[in-house]
Amino acid sequence: MIKIAIATNKNFFEKSLPILIPTLIDCGINKDDIYVFNAGFDKYSKGIVNGITYHNLNHNSFEYSALIEICEKEIVSEYWFLIHDTCKVGKKFKELLYNIPEEKPVKMALKINPSMSMGLYSYNYLLENKHKLFHIKNSDYSKESMSRWKIWGVPNEDYIMWKTEPMPKLYNENEKNWSVVDNYNWYGTDTIRRTEYYPSLDLYKNKSNWGQTGYNMVLKI
């Protein structure tokens, strides 16, 4: 069983989720298997919206918020696939997602390092490394704290994917097989973005930081 963990936050989910979620459903992902982890609230709450489970979190550790919450709440699934909210998927995504080697690796990466931490994690692997996740849990929403953790995340990308043993498998043997397909901002904002396409999972990422000078410090994934 694979559940989808969408990492988002309260400042951006209204723009991003209407693009991502319909593509997950269109490719055959069941609504019961889609979980939204919405970071940045003062109080925790949980609810079902149009058949999809929402966890509004009282912390914000960027993309790691979802994995932290899975461990803290012990939300069981054989595997979790972590996806950023600034993605969308094509019709082949589910078929490619379930193309897991027979030996059932503990994790599978979208691409070689750096992979934005996106990929498949076994639930048992997450629990084994929950101490590392809890260590970076952030409940301080001040500009200083959020900036500090954003900056920390640059050299620590793939914190428990490529930077923690064992090394992950690559989805569908994807090593460098990705491309930039356009420079369109899906969300109608003035943030400079580009769209990267990963055929290994038929996945698109509308990316704002890719090594250009400076970093976009707006508090969104």
Q: pTM of the entire structure? A: 0.93
pLDDT tens for each residue of 142-152: 999 989 888 88
Report, as an integer, the average pLDDT of 98-124: 95
Amino acid 53 reads T
Name residue, tokens 């409940």: 139
Amino acid 54 reads Y
Domains contained in the chain, CATH given: 2-207 (3.90.550)
Residue 39 tokens read as 């970071």
pLDDT tens for each residue of 162-216: 999 999 999 987 666 799 999 999 999 999 999 999 999 999 999 987 554 333 4
Q: List strand residue ranges (DSSP E) for the chain, in order.
A: 2-9, 34-39, 45-49, 52-56, 79-84, 87-89, 107-109, 119-122, 169-170, 179-182, 194-198, 203-207
CA distance 36 to 46: 10
pLDDT tens for each residue of 6-27: 999 999 999 999 999 999 999 9
Query: How does residue 156 score in pLDDT terms, banded at 50, 70 and 90?
Result: confident
Q: What percent of the chain has pLDDT over 90?
A: 81
